[in-house]
Copies of this chain bind each other. A is one copy, B any other.
């Protein structure tokens, strides 16, 4: 059994000595790496590998990796993909266990799949490979930059580790935060296409470093979500922040699928549900990511903040913009208590506002005595809101603004509360770094741009919520079980399994002839639905395979003839028709399971009819579900308002609907791997207390059916 590739992560991230393949006296990408290694103060020896030279940029150069001394623990590949495979294999044979592959051409966009296989084979034998198609990596603490992009200097060591599939996007987080706000990083890994080490491997490694408290990932696709769930549990236990930005949502698109559930859900939705389940923070845009990193790295880790925000602004317009942004983001402004408002009014200058957002006017910056009194008035407010105060660090050298920052820092230190400083715009020349230092020294983040600042603050509240829940709630993910044997998914057998799991599904009997149909209907003594049944038949009503409200002997016989004829016309093998009693309620709902090959099963919910069909008004969460999660899934749909009993409608049985979702989640977890998707559509929702019941089931089998 070979060692796991992660065994050599230390050699990759902090090699004793390093060799750069492709170093040349004629310049090129390899030389950029050598220059960066020198400029960052790397303490180990640097070798070039190139048969043409004995020296490049003052480094010894050898003809082949086989000539490298045993201190070289890592090689950097900056040559073409075909030659790279040979070199990597030679290096492995020579005992080198870590490699950074900058080159592309290992299967991206269809080029070089065979070369990709050679990389994977080396990884399987225990070689730790970063890339291919990457910028390399920077270990700030160790002063090691095996990195081909422009290197910002000075590098500042600190608590943030960053791994990004895209080198360019990663650099646009790493460099600006270090430059503008002197935020320190431990590592920046441009991991490229993850044919060897994956994002999950790096994250696990970072979480073991006591100096790292924030791990940031920029991902296009995950390779190993099961491992991610496990490392998220570690992050949760250690109160470390894990934040993800997904790139390429719009291109990922929806998989072609026959079920409703499949069509309603795209890869981005499932990834988001998976991250929520793992307690991993997710941001929507690159700019929001940058501010979120600054916030998570500096805000106190020991205060559980509420969702509410109090904004203190030095201008009425600035306060109004913050309120607009929070409103758009669905983040609440804390409604101040009457007592707080009175306390604020007692200290506020004549033209300020005493409601939230608080416009403390320009006097806030000019009058050194105002802010402490204002904070005194606010800090007694219950609910632990985050308090965000506008600070302008441009132009530098404004003594009032420096004093203002010092006051905020004093209050933060004395109170231990989560205070955030933000500037209206991210733009406009260098920041007054003294203001930033003053704030950072007191655990006060300094955020740039009202929009991204307010969105980042919302993420902080999310972190508190994730950290408040039990570890076991968070990152439990059902193992994907192969149940290919269990494949008899016609309506009656599916119904039997669902009912056994506690999911209510209407009773049905299979009629194989008109006579049987009529007899069953007579026995039921109620109007019935007649639905053709045949292997592979989905979306029955679209092709005339469903007749509803059939009452009486003749009607049932005719319905049987019609639906089975339409079924045959559509080319499905004939089985017969299901006869079900008609059920009525106050509304129709929809629920489904999507069993993702990578992430496992998830449950999808929406109200019926146009809410699903036209509005795609659905929510999705990973299975299994708690009751609370199920209720939340319902509440988050717009259509849920149909069930609230307003405007003369009858209230629906939301409790029973939530219970159905919980049991469907258990069913999904228990049958992981057994089908691709399952729809319960429609589910008839009875009035409060009367329960819910699914009246149709559609199942999409997995594609690789044997």
Q: Is A398 an interface residue when CB atoms closer than 8 A count as contact?
A: yes
**CB-defined contacts of A424 to chain B, threshold 8 Å:** 168-169, 172, 286
Are A109's CB and B613's CB within 8 A? no
Q: Is A665 an interface residue when CB atoms closer than 8 A count as contact?
A: no
Q: Is A481 an interface residue when CB atoms closer than 8 A count as contact?
A: no
Are B425's CB and A172's CB within 8 A? yes
Are B647's CB and A398's CB within 8 A? no
CA distance A111 to B180 in the complex (A): 41
Identify which of residues 427-441 in chain A touch chain B, using a CB-to-CB cut-off of 8 Å.
Answer: 427-430
Query: Which of B176, B323, B610, B638 interacts with A425 by CB under 8 Å?
Result: B176
The interface stretch among A447-455, A485-493, A682-690 is A447-455
CA distance A166 to B164 in the complex (A): 40
User: In the complex where A220-B320, A395-B152, A639-B614 touch, is A105 in contact with B351 (Cβ < 8 A)?
Assistant: yes
**CB-defined contacts of A111 to chain B, threshold 8 Å:** 350-351
Are B324's CB and A250's CB within 8 A? yes
Are B430's CB and A448's CB within 8 A? no
**CB-defined contacts of A180 to chain B, threshold 8 Å:** 427-429
Instruction: Kindly state the interface size class of chain A when it binds its partner.
Output: 35 or more
User: In the complex where A164-B317, A167-B315 touch, is A324 in contact with B248 (Cβ < 8 A)?
Assistant: yes
User: In the complex where A169-B318, A287-B426, A425-B290 touch, is A542 in contact with B648 (Cβ < 8 A)?
Assistant: yes
Are B451's CB and A427's CB within 8 A? no
Q: Is A177 an interface residue when CB atoms closer than 8 A count as contact?
A: yes
Are A176's CB and B315's CB within 8 A? no
Nearest B residue to A325 via CB reads: B285
Q: Is A498 an interface residue when CB atoms closer than 8 A count as contact?
A: no
**CB-defined contacts of A287 to chain B, threshold 8 Å:** 287, 425-426, 449-452
Are B220's CB and A317's CB within 8 A? yes
**CB-defined contacts of A220 to chain B, threshold 8 Å:** 316-317, 320
**CB-defined contacts of A320 to chain B, threshold 8 Å:** 166, 220, 247-248, 250-251
Q: Which A residues contact B (CB, under 8 angstroms)?
A: 104-105, 108-109, 111, 133, 150, 152, 164-169, 172-173, 175-177, 179-180, 218, 220, 247-251, 285-287, 290, 314-318, 320-321, 323-328, 350-351, 353, 361, 394-395, 398, 424-430, 448-452, 541-542, 610, 613-615, 638-639, 641-642, 647-648
Q: List 18 A-B contacts (CB under 8 A).
A: A105-B351, A108-B351, A133-B351, A168-B315, A169-B315, A172-B427, A176-B425, A179-B427, A180-B429, A220-B316, A248-B321, A251-B324, A285-B321, A286-B449, A286-B451, A613-B647, A614-B638, A615-B615
